[in-house]
Copies of this chain bind each other. A is one copy, B any other.
Amino acid sequence: MTDDNRNDRPPRFTRRGVLGTGAAMSAGAGLLALSGLPAQARAGDIPDAWDEEFDVVVIGSGFAGLSAAYEAQKAGSSVTVLEKMPSLGGNSAISGGVWSVGGTPLQEAQGIEDSPERLLEDMLAAGLDMNHVELARKVAFESLDSLMWSIEEIGVEYTETLTQLGGHAVARAYGTVDGTGAGITRPLAQRLRENDVEPRTRVALQRLLRGADGRIMGVTVRDGVPFPDDGSGEMRHIKARKAVVLATGGFGNDAVFRMLQDPRLDDDLDSTNQPGSTAEALREALSIGCTPIQLSWIQLGPWASPDERGFGLGPFFGQGIAAQHGIWVDTRTGERFVNEQADRKVRSDMILRVGNETIAIADAQGPERRGRDPETMQELLDRDVVRRFDTLAELAEAYGMSPDTLEETVGDWNAAVAAGEDPLFGRPLLRDQVVMDTAPWYAMRLTPKIHHTMGGVAINSEARALDVSTGEVIPGLYCAGEITGGVHGAVRLGGCAYGDAIVFGRIAGRNAAAEDSWS
């Protein structure tokens, strides 16, 4: 692993954090006392009568929301799940189906030494030490339990293959059998239905209702609203006797909000996210006094194609095949320009610097040895996202490169493979890395797309939202998943959003169910 963020010192596991389980941001430890005035409230919005009521109201139906609903229901609470989009699952359902966990049974069976500590170490190194360690630790150390839960209790099926994603020291990513996150969201929703919790779609959050005492009392929604929201639908007030769990995801597809935090990311840039990855719920959470955290850390995925919309199929080739078996090339020079196994930020920043004139290359062995899915490969070729060439020279000419230069680049790479060391960028070689010498050749244009928003609202390690005025928890409000910030710091590693959303979703659901009812 050659992440240039890495260094040799031990991870700062012992660093004192500000997001402990208690009132971590209030006075103490020599820090300044806050005013101590009561928390933010907006009592004027509280309705005289409620249209519905539940113990726990979950907003969002991705990993975090469904996991929270499952645990809350299992603990005996009445639960509803509200999803603004026409279908369930959010970004989780369309994500790549890989979950990075340290110290798993598959690793043990395959002789791969790993542990939660090593996973945490990788997360902090990639995160440039901007992670909130107490949150990252929770994800690293509790993912194994949640992975086993997903298999044994939810019935998720994973393949026997472990993947080593960029920035991870070892192969540690489980992959769902169906190849996407829907392999988890579908059985989760099914388990909920079996317990008479039918998640509802086209229900959009309007207001988090915070009472005069600072407690979250419920939500106002519009029921039956299309996306994009046209202001239609029926306004309903839903009481949450115990708690609201906010699990509405990130804001990668909200050009206005992301430009506030990083003006470079204008609406010319595409996103891998589903269209509903917008910031309304985050804005609402901030407006009732949630604490904003690290909002300007926004992750781009470097392995996408400008020749299709969204996440698409491009990463199957760009990352799954070419970054492992092949190479990435700057078409202006005909040369490699980055460690193809570096983390997403390093690679995205390099592509932006090079100026988007980059391609991913593999020979015929790529699709055979990696990403063994001929149908997807054919689909990529049919869509002209990946192009096939009989010779490397033809490939070079198609992208305006000198054939000689590209031959030399591939030759240098093959020499590196033979020597067992990449002298240019220190890219770690696979155990079964082979040279590229077999026609036909494949190439795909690369572009970074907005992929994940690391920032969000601050929670403590019990998934409780923290008030921006006082630093104390906001009674009755839990948050989990991409709407929260701090787990990943500056860079989220591949497969780590699953643990983030599922571990904290389950914590939120269990804790929500354990709250006292306010009425």
List residues of chain A with CB under 8 Å of any chain B CB. Answer: 7, 9, 15-19, 25, 29-37, 40-44, 128-133, 206-207, 212, 228-229, 231, 254-256, 259-264, 266-267, 278, 280, 283-284, 286-289, 291-297, 349, 352-353, 355, 455, 458, 467-469, 471, 486, 489
Contact = CB atoms under 8 A, between A and B. Distances in A.
Nearest to A297: B296
Given A7-B353, A41-B44, A15 B263 contact: yes
B206 A263 contact: no
Contact of A267 (B29, B261, B353): B29
Copies of this chain, complex-wide, total 2
Contacts of A9: 355
Given A35-B206, A260-B291, 10 more contacts: A17-B259, A17-B263, A32-B229, A40-B42, A41-B44, A44-B44, A261-B293, A294-B296, A295-B296, A296-B296
A278 B32 contact: yes
B31 A256 contact: yes
B296 A129 contact: no
A503 B256 CA distance: 26
A33 B295 contact: no
A481 to B, nearest CB: 19
Contacts of A353: 7, 129
Contact of A295 (B19, B129, B295, B489): B295
A206 to B, nearest CB: 6
Contacts of A25: 256, 260
B40 A287 contact: yes
B44 A43 contact: yes
B263 A18 contact: yes
A130 B296 contact: yes
A352 B490 CA distance: 15
A292 B126 CA distance: 25
